[in-house]
Structure 1
Amino acid sequence: MELSPSAHVDTFCRDRLPPFSLWPELHFDLPELTYPDRLNCAVRLLDDAVVRWGADRPCLLTPTDRWTYGDLLRHANQVAQVLTEDLGLRPGNRVLLRGPNNPWLVAAWFGVLKAGGVAVTTMPMLRAAELAQLHDISRTTVALCDHRYVDELEAAGTPGLALVPYGGDGADDLTRRCAAKDGAFRNVATAADDVALIAFTSGTTGRPKATMHFHRDVLANADTFSRHIVKPRQDDVFTGTPPLAFTFGLGGLVVFPLHVGAATLLIEQASPERLADLVAEHGVTVLFTAPTAYRAIMAAGAVDRLTGLRRCVSAGEALPAQVWQDFHAATGLRIIDGIGATEMLHVFISAADDDIRPGATGKPVPGYRAMVVGENGAPVPDGEPGLLAVTGPTGCRYLDDPRQTTYVRNGWNITGDTYIRDRDGYFWYVARSDDMIVSSGYNIAGPEVEKALLTHPHVTDCGVVGAPDERRGMVVKAYVVLRDGVAADDVTVKELQNHVKRTIAPYKYPRAVEFVTELPRTSNGKLQRGALRRRAANTAG
């Protein structure tokens, strides 16, 4: 395997790629996955869109603003000018991006890539210590940060990092700097396999894992999952809740719509009910969010505001069949479920329309291959649980991290999920491999217990983990959010336990139940089971 000659003067990323022997196998089976050796994904997504469809097409919408494709191109070019002319950015330098989902964050992302830089988009809710750690790993040289979020970054103590705020009224603000530029920029001709972005995995314990993705990878997700499953149209309006720091959000809210000349509504923050209002107000047709939000929209009685939707996509955690069925009954819409990974950049197993089987994640997305294997790497028979293994045009490349050998085995990406494949080739989620609860010799999947609890009318949300127990090793413990008016007492505990016994195998019922007002979730809606496991361990005994 050989890489193309790099356009990066700063070779930090290429120098820290895993050795080829530790890469997963890559496949480019579809004709649309044939990319030229020189490729800048920002040019393909933005400059080419303006040439193809004109500068006046609506592109980035907000509740109060509207940018055309021409507006975004001009601002992205101005950002690239500021980076190179004012800040001395060289191709290959890493740029930290920090802020909520809004047009200037998108312009900054495109500007970094146009200049040949590497985008390191971070969660706006991260604190100083976390930001310092990400900076230490990625060695960013410039930070473009929403002016409302600079405090934690300034407190992070990041030597050598030039911080430029945007969206404020300071003399040094990026938006003011951009206004002084003419918007004419000569794009850097990066290699298709130059690193375009570094994304950090969510939910990781210990040192965060940095995944490196090439320019061609960004387009490959659009040419697989988006093209073949989401099937966007040029007149679509996308929206959703995942932050752009999550690759689920980057794909669903930026890459996929711009790939076809569609528009996207960027929302900085919204409750599920407010999200439904915005869908109705702005004529949204494609929605990306987590199962929790779909459930909450139904609970709020707001599904009538979703009548304009054409496609609904769910990821971040498994979509319970009951939620799918309830949502379909209420709206007639079929939620597209999918599993992706930061290591793979986006979704690689999914299904749409008549191919959906509620409760199943789906089949490998065109361009990807998947199987279920045992610990020895050999395929297990259909119907038996094992580890999910996947290959395709994208794959795991950690930045200078020994955990590469854990994720990639025998050329396959091992995602850390336990799955069952049925005889028809559908993949059914069982649990994260570390969500398996071993109690008295029984293997119990926490998400399965969660699904059972969620079918009880008293329960609005729940999380299930293993709690240490002297007799059984572990017991199933449920953290439950009750509906208003339901008593958090022993009678309710017993009722929920009996309900689970009636719904799934009795030995899987939660022997411990704790009522809480809310569950720890990421900004993407993903349940943080690690936090619940730590809480259960701390309160055991």
Structure 2
Amino acid sequence: MKHYDDNFTHDNLPPASLQAECFTGHSDFEFPDNLNCVEQLLDRHIAEGNGDKVAIRTFDITWTYNDLYEKANQIAHVLKDDLGFVSGNRVLIRSANNPMYVACWFGILKAGGVVVATMPLLREKELSVMTESAKISHAFSDYRLEDDILAVKSPFLKHVISFNGTGQGTSKLEVLMGNKPKTFNNYTTKSDSVAIIGFTSGTTGKPKMTAHYHKDILLICEAFPKYSLQPTTEDVFIGSPPLGFTFGLGGLVLFPFYFGASTFLLEKPSPDSLLQAIQDYKVTICFTAPTAWRVITTKVVDYDISSLRKCVSAGETLPIKVWDDWHDATGLKIIDGIGATEILHIFISSNEETMRKGATGLPIRGYEAKIVDAKGNEAPTGEAGRLAVRGVTGCKYLANEERQQKYVENGWNITGDIFRKDEDGYYWFVARGDDMIISSGYNISAIEVENVLLMHDAITECAVVGIPDEERGMLVCAYIVLKEKDKANDVFTKEIQDWFKASAAPYKYPRKICYMEALPKTETGKIQRFKLKKIIQA
């Protein structure tokens, strides 16, 4: 079936035989065949008479649902009327988190386009790879970030249109929008028409493009939020992840708008700006990464965050110490979760009733999971193995059948994470598949070593990797950021090692410790362990 005039995305989907099994099993997950997700996320609020309700705030801007609706409609007109756009064209967005980013996102889908959302830190090289891989024809860019996308040389990229993400003044897009109608007849997409392409982290070399349907966008709104957040129209969402990261897209756009709530967007989400916004705008739900929760905990005493009711962490596993420190400081429990760009959002997590400290949680509504060994057989309870997941969404790599065959086995998504399941069905993170350290025959989880080290009063942050060693195969190496930097010396290293051996199994102790001013992180807050491995090898 032809979904679009430009059918690139559908022509490059993996065959059905290589896709994960998806199921619904509940009426909440059933959507009509003709479906444009914008109608449920945005347009219906206007139709239901809620256009004057606040949709997006920043420290400087307030947009109602009607403001967002009209701007998205005008952007759709610009694409169709002025830019030679046809349905199915891939349209890139380059911007920090701001209201115009969201308007572009909706406008593209209204016109029948496929959104390729990106993160501000990407540069010409990565943007070029994405443009060539997805055959991107149009790009909307905040004028402050347009140099890198303008530098991309590609026969596919026909139009780069700048906008003013500050809300002050105009750029080309605002000028083109100026005389456009504020209504638009949305393109009639199917529920299984591709809506977005998400690039997984690491877009150099052969990229991994994940495709998600219009129904997928709505399915995740029925899954994690209903299980863990119980949102209402009065909730105010906030967070640090970029909208180019599906964790951020869900938490800061899809979930609030699906439930008629509002979102507070930060272009530069520092711990202080997050706390200031929570205090001043009575934010109720916050999404951020473990590293940010750690820092926020040290500052929360200076702010009134009494409005906050739900705290969500993802991107990396949540250390027990971070959970404990935040709970001690605020009385609030952080909801941990694991998701994947391939599956779109979180699929294992917890809520107030099911939370078990230290565990990632249980499969949320709409998903099921199991632990499998190297041959795909289900592992016994308590034994570590590969995490396999299936449910209402699943992996669909574009133009990469080899990778698709590795990610999907026998209808299950194999995430690349090592977990164990306890006798009560709770899932406990052990390591990324490539972060297990095998030293002198012992299997050592890097995350477990990190959790112990973070209990030491002198350590602010740490990351553990395995490094090659002739005698032991691999050594446990810890990169540590100290609260007092002048303590970094050999005597203190020995003190930490002895303390570790008294606190946990001695064979797990870090035989090598390197002190750092800061750990390398991605824009989404993940520690870049591959960079640490390169440091020691150099």
Task: Give the TM-score of the pair, scaled to structure 1.
Answer: 0.96
Instruction: Say whether residues 1:324 and 2:313 are aligned partners.
Output: no
Letter of the 1:39 partner, please give it: L
2:23 aligned with 1:24: no
Give the AA of the match of 2:211: M
2:109 to 113, 120, 131: 113
Cα pair 1:6 1:194 within 8 Å, conserved: no
Q: Does 1:166 align with 2:163?
A: yes
Q: What is the CA distance between 1:463 and its match in structure 2?
A: 0.8
Q: Output one character per residue of 1:164-203: Cα deviation in whole Å (capped at 9) or x when no partner.
A: 0000799861112112212121100100000000001125
Query: Is the contact made by 1:458 and 1:486 (CA closer than 8 Å) also made in structure 2?
Result: no
Distance in 1, matches of 2:300 and 2:48, equals: 41
Pairing 1:124–2:120 present: yes
Is 1:92 paired with 2:94? no
Match of 1:233 in 2: 232
Letter of the 1:462 counterpart: C
Does the CA contact (< 8 Å) of 2:130 and 2:203 recur in 1?
no
2:259 alignment partner in structure 1: 260
Q: Which residue of the partner structure matches residue 437 of structure 1? A: 437
Cα distance in 1 for residues equivalent to 2:219 and 2:205: 30
Report the residue type matching 1:217 in the other structure.
D
What's the CA shift for 1:498? 1.9
Contact 1:303–1:330 (8 Å) recurs in 2: no
Which amino acid counterpart does residue 163 of structure 2 have in structure 1?
Y
1:36 aligns with 2:35: no
Contact 1:372 1:386 in 2 (8 A): yes
Structure 1 residue 509, shift from structure 2 partner: 0.9
Separation of aligned partners in 1, 2:8 and 2:297 = 48
Equivalent position amino acid for 2:140 in 1: L
Q: Contact 1:297 / 1:303 at 8 angstroms: preserved in 2?
A: no
| Correspondence for 1:524 | 524
Summarize the alignment of residues 313-462 of structure 1 with structure 2, pairs less than 5 Å apart.
313-401=312-400, 402-462=402-462
Check conservation: 1:17, 1:400, Cα contact below 8 A.
yes
1:53–1:357 CA distance, 2 compared to 1 (3 A): farther
For 1:36 and 1:411, the matched residues in 2 are separated by: 24
Q: Structure 1 residue 271: deviation in Å?
A: 1.7
- Cα separation, 1, equivalents of 2:507 and 2:204: 30
Q: Hey, what's the Cα distance between the residues in 2 that align with 1:210 and 1:240? A: 25
SS in 2 for 1:493: helix
Q: Contact 1:131/1:153 (CA < 8 Å) preserved in 2?
A: yes
1:80 and 2:76 correspond: yes
1:202-351 equivalences under 5 Å are 202-203=201-202, 206-302=205-301, 304-351=303-350
Amino acid at match of 2:410: N
Amino acid at match of 1:178: M
The separation in 2 between residues aligned to 1:195 and 1:17, in whole angstroms, is: 9
Q: Which residue of 1 aligns with 2:66?
A: 70
Amino acid in structure 2 at the alignment position of 1:341: A
Number of the residue aligned with 1:469 = 469
Structure 1 residue 30: deviation in Å? 1.6
Distance apart, 1:205 and its partner CA: 7.0
Question: What is the aligned-residue RMSD (CA, Å)?
Answer: 1.5
| Further displaced range: 144-153 or 441-450 | 441-450
Is the 1:363–1:425 Cα contact (8 Å) retained in structure 2?
Answer: yes
> 1:313-348 deviations in whole A, cap 9, x for unaligned?
110000112211221121111111100000000000
- 1:300, CA displacement in angstroms? 3.1
Q: What runs of 5+ residues in structure 2 fail to find an aligned partner?
A: none
Opposite residue 124 of structure 1, the aligned amino acid is P
C-alpha distance in structure 1 between counterparts of 2:258 and 2:488, whole Å? 49
Provide the identity percentage. Answer: 49
Match of 2:371, SS state, is strand
Partners of 2:516 and 2:89 in 1: CA distance: 45
Q: Which moved more, 1:72-81 or 1:43-52?
A: 43-52
Deviation at 1:258, TM superposition (A): 0.1
SS in 2 for 1:448: helix
Q: Which runs of 5+ in 1 are unaligned?
A: none
Pairwise CA distance, 1:357: 0.5
The Cα of 1:301 is off from its aligned counterpart by 4.7
Distance 2:301 2:292 in 1: 11
Cα distance between partner residues in 2 of 1:485 and 1:376 = 47
The answer for the alignment partner of 1:156 in structure 2 is: 152
Partner Cα separation in structure 2 for residue 79 and residue 256 of structure 1: 22
TM-score normalised to the size of structure 2?
0.97
- Give SS of 1:264's match: strand
Contact kept? 1:53, 1:261, Cα under 8 Å:
no
Q: Distance in 2 between matches of 1:259 and 1:492?
A: 52
Counterparts of 1:157 and 1:254, CA distance in 2:
31
Shift of 1:364: 0.4
Q: Deviations over 1:347-396 (max 9, x none)?
A: 00000113100100000001101000101111101100000000001000
Q: 1:49 aligns with which of 42, 45, 51?
A: 45
1-structure distance, mates of 2:210, 2:315: 17
Question: 2:48 aligns to what SS in structure 1?
Answer: helix
1:244 is paired with a residue of what secondary structure?
coil
Q: Please report how far the alpha carbon of residue 303 of structure 1 lies from its aligned counterpart in structure 2 after TM superposition.
A: 6.7
Call closer, same or farther: CA 1:133–1:204 in 2, change over 3 Å. closer
Aligned residues: 534
What is the letter of the counterpart of residue 28 of structure 1? T
Alpha-carbon contact 1:462-1:480 (below 8 Å) kept: yes
Range moving further from structure 2, 160-169 or 211-220:
160-169
- For residues 206 and 354 of structure 2, the distance between their equivalents in structure 1, rounded to whole angstroms, comes to 39
